[in-house]
Amino acid sequence: METQVYWMAVFLQGLFLIAFVLIRGPLYRVVLGYLVAYFLLMLVRDSVTLRDTFALRRLEGIAPVTNPATS
C-alpha cells in the first residue's frame, strides 16, 4: 500500500509539471488543465477496471470473503 501512495504522489507531481509545461499560462489555467487531465485519467482508469470490479463483486456474492481478524 505504501508503494501505491508513493507512486501516486510521484505521478501527480509529474502530471502537474506536464500541465505547467504544456499550458505555459497563468497559474489558474495550469491548475484547471491539471484538474481536467486528472479527472480524465481517473475516468479512464475506472472504465478499464470496471469489468474486473463487477467480476469481484460477483465472486464475493458466491463465496463471501471472511476476515479472520473480524470474526
Has residue 18 got a pLDDT over 70?
A: yes
Does residue 52 surpass a pLDDT of 70?
Answer: yes
Residue boundaries of the structural domains of the chain: 14-60
Cα gap 58→20, rounded to integer Å? 42
- Quote the pLDDT of residue 64: 58
Vertex 43 angle, CA 8 and 33, to 5°: 70
